[in-house]
Structure 1
């Protein structure tokens, strides 16, 4: 039943946003309280298994305990999370405006003037719809780094601002996701999970752009966006480490 106790404690601590040292201290403190409860139930005549189950039940529901502990560790955590959520919402809105609404409005404005030219995608003759093979061939790139290498090899043929926007810009626009995801979602505290999540998000954006005729699908955008979010995640780790070190120094100063 030791594994049951470990799993119970892990569920509580995994929900906390704090340093590793604080988590270790919290684990030890919870264990001490649980084992005292278990011992009391065993002294009352309960078997070890029943005593453990009753102790866990008495101790409380894990998510509720995690919220209480988080408040004690960081009183302003809830406010910070709400603020971060608001900024994340604004960021998502900006992405929607940039990749969809702005382009839809421009296309509709051009069409209203009587010109059926689409500035975002190449429309083939005898266009039958977004699943037209010729349309996909003209507006989709599935070969990694093909577009990026084209910009590099033929730099003289492109405006510098276009090259920067479609390479460095594609990485920077998704950099904030590498910061927002681990701040808002406890399950996104590893580079692998952040990278997978961002890859799926950009894949959806690229696919919708192609289906809505407001942009081209390019696997390079997915790669560059994922690289950008990874940089953002390392920024998150860097600032979290600084915060944890400051917290550790303050704790030592209090003990002294």
Structure 2
């Protein structure tokens, strides 16, 4: 078997993009060719050296299985698009939560309200724009649901969860160091806390500790989706490797 044929069989079917597959092929062919040259320098004939180099690298199915197992969930070319998607997600969140014209329009009302309450000697009413008691807002939606529209309840509950799901999904997909639920938990917590603080400090929204709980829950839900997707991908790769091994053995 020629070296090119051997490398083609190994690379064919690897779980990666065409460009990444070509990179793996070029690198593997370079290593096999280098070993062949070393064997020829030791006195082996060209065909014998090629056969011995292939033998030392191992059977096609075994090497393919090892390469497939070592491949990242997304290769470096696809990763660029996912990284761009993550940047778009951060930009969209920044706009919706801090930069939208609607928030800055409501800011004027919030500042005027606080100023009016202070002028009338009722500073306690300036705290209607914050909630520091866990579950207070959630219980209010449950036990006094008749005071709110279905849209308001869904927007504030499901919206806060859905908002942070991409964070829990994309971070571990892009960075192996975030493939840990504790890191995702604290990242979601600190990101949500920063947003809540900025909204309150700039009078762009209310500070609500229940939003923190829902945001963190959303981040963990996104991480759960990542774990389920990763398990599915690795299981499929294992099946493909077993199928390839049984076909070539």
Q: CA deviation at 1:73?
A: 2.9
- 1:147–1:220: 8 Å Cα contact kept in structure 2? yes
Note the aligned Cα RMSD (angstroms).
Answer: 2.9
- 1:195–1:226: 8 Å Cα contact kept in structure 2? yes
TM-score by length of 2: 0.64
Alignment counterpart, residue 96 of structure 2, candidates 98, 101, 107: 98
* Aligned counterparts of 2:112 and 2:223: Cα–Cα separation in 1: 32
Alignment counterpart, residue 240 of structure 1, candidates 227, 230, 240: 230
TM-score by length of 1: 0.62
1:123 aligns with 2:114: yes
- 1:176–1:232: 8 Å Cα contact kept in structure 2? yes
1:79 aligns with 2:77: yes
Which one has a bigger Cα radius of gyration?
A: 2
**Residue 180 and residue 224 in structure 1: after superposition, are their counterparts in 2 closer, same or farther (change >3 A)?**
same
What do the CA deviations read for 1:10-43 (whole angstroms, capped 9, x no partner)?
xxxxxxxx9xxxxxxxxxxxxxxxxxxxxxxxxx
Q: Helix, strand or coil for the counterpart of 1:117?
A: helix
| Count of aligned pairs | 177
* Aligned counterparts of 2:151 and 2:73: Cα–Cα separation in 1: 45
Q: CA deviation at 1:137?
A: 2.5
Q: Which residue of 1 aligns with 2:156?
A: 166
Structure 2 spans left out of the alignment, 5+ residues:
1-15, 17-66
- 2:161–2:215: 8 Å Cα contact kept in structure 1? yes
* Aligned counterparts of 2:96 and 2:130: Cα–Cα separation in 1: 19
Alignment counterpart, residue 182 of structure 2, candidates 185, 192, 213: 192
4+ runs deviating over 2 angstroms: 72-76, 105-111, 120-128, 133-138
What do the CA deviations read for 1:29-78 (whole angstroms, capped 9, x no partner)?
xxxxxxxxxxxxxxxxxxxxxxxxxxxxxxxxxxxxxxxx89x8369611
Structure 1 spans left out of the alignment, 5+ residues:
1-17, 19-68
Q: Helix, strand or coil for the counterpart of 1:187?
A: helix
**Larger relative contact order (Cα-Cα within 8 Å, sequence gap ≥ 6):** 2
